[in-house]
Amino acid sequence: MYNYKNNFLLEGKTKKLYKTDNINEIIIHYKDIITSFDGDKTQSLNQKGIINNQISAIIFHLLNSCGIKTHFIRIINNREQLCHKLDLFTLEFVIRNIVFGSMSKRLGIKEGIYIQNPIFEIFYKNDILKDPFINHHHAVFLKIISYEELNIINKISLEINKIIKKFFFDKNIILVDLKLEFGKNHKKEIVLADEISPDTCRIWDKTTKQKLDKDCFRKGYSNEKIINTYMKVLNKIDK
């Protein structure tokens, strides 16, 4: 574990960030914390950070190989990655392939309906406001991002969804939806950030439709069952 006292940058709900000797690179440490309901429900799950670190590394490596710019450089150890340092947009972007969760509630549409053309949604990252659903005009009005940058992220997000959706499908996993975050590197390029894992994707077993993501935590499954579910995802994609 990276533990240089003077190199600590900040700590979030599920990760710690550390400086490196390169001002444009950071180390991201994956914690064992799992959260839901905008952080109102939090719990420690043994080994969860290790599993998510490995899953994210596999998917970031895939995306990098497909020409998608991500913050991921390489995995360092079982809990840490070396990544490009970014100035993050305070926005979350959700791509939906199947109606589920908040979209179903907002629009009164039955869960489980397949969406022909993936839907691109924006949420304002603000803990006090509970990360509200917003549109393009809100994001620009708040001076978080420009229309041009939103168009770029929309295009990149749909391509990421296409790549991951096929990758998962080939591993007997259905990608229901996924949450993405972006930032700018020192070259001012828009780059994918955060992680891709069962914490940020809603995924189902293709055969059984078993939930393989954080919905297990939301529904109150035992710690052992949640970890076994996350490990099942890792075993499926690490082949």
Predicted local confidence at residue 157, as pLDDT: 98
Sign of the dihedral defined by the CA atoms of residues 211, 169, 97, 72, in that order: positive
d(CA 11, CA 13): 7
| pLDDT, tens digit (0-9, with 9 covering 90-100), for 20-54 | 999 999 999 999 999 987 767 889 999 999 999 99
Cα angle 207, 211, 216 (rounded to 5 degrees) comes to 160
Distance linking the first and last C-alpha atoms of the chain: 26
Residues recorded for the chain: 239
Residues 6+ apart with CB under 8 A from 96: 103, 115, 118, 119, 121, 176, 177
pLDDT at 1 over 90: no
**Token pair 């659903």 is at which residue?**
133
pLDDT of residue 16: 95
Q: 């599993």: which residue's tokens?
A: 51
Q: Mean pLDDT over residues 159-179, rounded?
A: 98
Cβ burial, residue 79 (10 Å; 0-12/13-18/19+): buried
Q: Which pLDDT tens digit goes with each residue over 186-230?
A: 999 999 999 999 999 999 999 999 999 999 999 999 999 999 999
Query: Which helix H or strand E contains 115, and what residues bound it?
Result: strand 114-124
Place of tokens 């700590």: 11
pLDDT at 182: 98
* pLDDT number for residue 5: 59
The burial of 152, by beta-carbon neighbours within 10 Å (0-12 exposed, 13-18 middle, 19 or more buried), is given as middle
Give burial (CB, 10 Å; 0-12/13-18/19+) of 213: buried
Q: In the prediction, which pLDDT does 6 show? A: 73
What is the per-residue pLDDT for 4? 62
**Of all helices (H) and strands (E), which one includes residue 72?**
strand 72-75
Q: CA torsion angle for 175, 45, 194, 74 (degrees, to 10)?
A: -100
**Residues contacting 3, CB < 8 A, separation 6+:** none
DSSP character for 133?
Answer: E
133 bridge partner residues: 123
Mean pLDDT of all residues belonging to the chain: 95
